[in-house]
Amino acid sequence: MALLDTSGRRASVSSASAQPETRATSKLAQKLELNGFTRRDFLKYCGCLAGMMGLSQLAAPQVAEALEIGAEGGKLLPVIWLEGSSCTGCTEALTQGTTPDIPQLVLETIALNYSETLSAAAGHSLEEARRETIEAGSYLVVYEGAVVTAYDGNILRVADEKGTDVLLETVKNAEAVIALGSCACDGGWMAVRPDDADAMGVQKFLSEHNVDVPVVNIPCCPANPEWLTSVILEYVLTGHLPELNDKNEPAALFSQTIHDNCPRRGHFENGEFVYQFGSEEEAKGYCLYPLGCKGPQTYAPCAVTRWNRSLSWCVEAGAPCAGCATINPMNPQANWVDENTPFLERHRDFAVGPITFQPTTVAVGLTVLVVAVLGVHCAGMKLAGRMDGGADFEPERRWDEKHGGPEAHEAGARAQRLYDDLDEMGLEPKNTGLHRKRDAAARKAAAKEAPQAADSNNDTHAEGGDE
- The correct pick among 203, 298, 305, 328 for binding ligand SF4 (CB under 6 A) is 298
Which residue stretch of 142-150, 283-291, 366-374, 448-456 sits at the interface with ligand SF4 (rule: CB under 6 A)? 283-291
264 is an interface residue for ligand SF4 by CB under 6 A: yes
**Considering only 165-173, 191-199, 254-262, 436-444, which stretch makes contact with ligand SF4 by CB under 6 A?**
254-262
User: Closest CB to ligand SF4 among 15 and 312?
Assistant: 312
- Position among 229, 259, 281, 328 found at the interface with ligand SF4 (CB under 6 A): 259
Q: Site for ligand SF4 (CB under 6 A): which residue of 325, 328, 335, 339?
A: 325
Rama region for 146: left / alpha / beta (φ>0; ψ in -120 to 50; rest)? beta
Length of the chain: 467
Q: Which of 146, 171, 288, 337 binds ligand SF4 (CB under 6 A)?
A: 288
Nearer to ligand SF4, 312 or 367 (CB): 312
Contacting range for ligand SF4; rule: CB under 6 A; set: 12-20, 86-94, 235-243, 261-269: 261-269
Asked if residue 322 binds ligand SF4 (CB under 6 A), the reply is yes
- Minimum distance, C-beta of residue 57 to ligand SF4, in the bound complex (Å): 23
CA distances from 6 to 138, 371, 381, 385 (A): 14, 75, 89, 95
Number of residues interacting with ligand SF4: please give it, by CB under 6 A.
24
The yes or no reply on residue 265 touching ligand SF4 (CB under 6 A) is yes
Q: Compute CA distances 372 → 38, 202, 233, 385, 392, whole Å.
A: 72, 48, 64, 20, 25
> Taking the complex as a whole, how short is the minimal distance between the CB of residue 234 and ligand SF4, in angstroms?
21
Residue with Cβ nearer ligand SF4 (32 or 314): 314
Query: Smallest distance, Å, CB 290 to ligand SF4?
Result: 9
Q: Taking CB under 6 A as the rule, which mask of x and - marks residues 170-209 in contact with ligand SF4?
A: ----------------------------------------
Among 140, 180, 228, 315, binds ligand SF4 (CB under 6 A): 315
CA dist., res. 442 & res. 100, Å (int): 97
Q: Report the candidate in 122, 96, 324, 322 with the shortest Cα–Cα distance to residue 219.
A: 324
CB 60 within 8 A of CB 47: yes
Nearest to 414 by CA among 395, 393, 428, 398: 395
Between 232 and 262, CB nearer to ligand SF4: 262
Amino acid occupying residue 261 = N
The pairing of beta strand 140-144 with beta strand 79-83: parallel
Measure the CA–CA gap between 200 and 147, rounded to whole angstroms.
Answer: 5
Q: What are the C-alpha distances in Å from 345 to residues 191, 292, 320, 384, 437? A: 22, 4, 10, 47, 53
Write phi, then psi, for 162 (nearest 5 degrees): -65, 140
Binding site for ligand SF4 (CB under 6 A): 220, 258-259, 262, 264-265, 268, 287-289, 293, 295-296, 298, 300, 302, 313-315, 321-325
